Amino acid sequence: GVQIMALGRMLPDGDPHLKGYDAVAVPSGKVFKYIVARSASLEEVRKMLPEVKKKFAGAFLVNVKGDVIQTVR
């Protein structure tokens, strides 16, 4: 997936901060990490990243397994 932000609170579905994306909030310590462009295919997610970065310049690739999030290089 692509992580777009991390916040100390849960956002409701459709919140304007999500800029139209259907994000999943994954708890990580005291923050929620917001993930979009979820897919089992890393190649597919890599193709989506440039589009997501148009709205979230700091977005980056992550691998999510349960509640564990790892940055993908």
pLDDT tens by residue, 31-63:
999 999 988 899 999 999 999 999 999 999 999
Q: Collapse the DSSP code of 45 into the 3-class scheme (helix H, G, I; strand E, B; otherwise coil) and give the result.
A: helix
Distance CA(53)–CA(50), nearest Å, equals: 5
Q: In this prediction, what percent of the chain has a pLDDT beyond 70? A: 100
Residue spans of beta strands (DSSP E) within the chain: 2-7, 24-28, 31-36, 60-65, 68-71
In sequence order, what are the beta bridge partners of 25?
A: 34
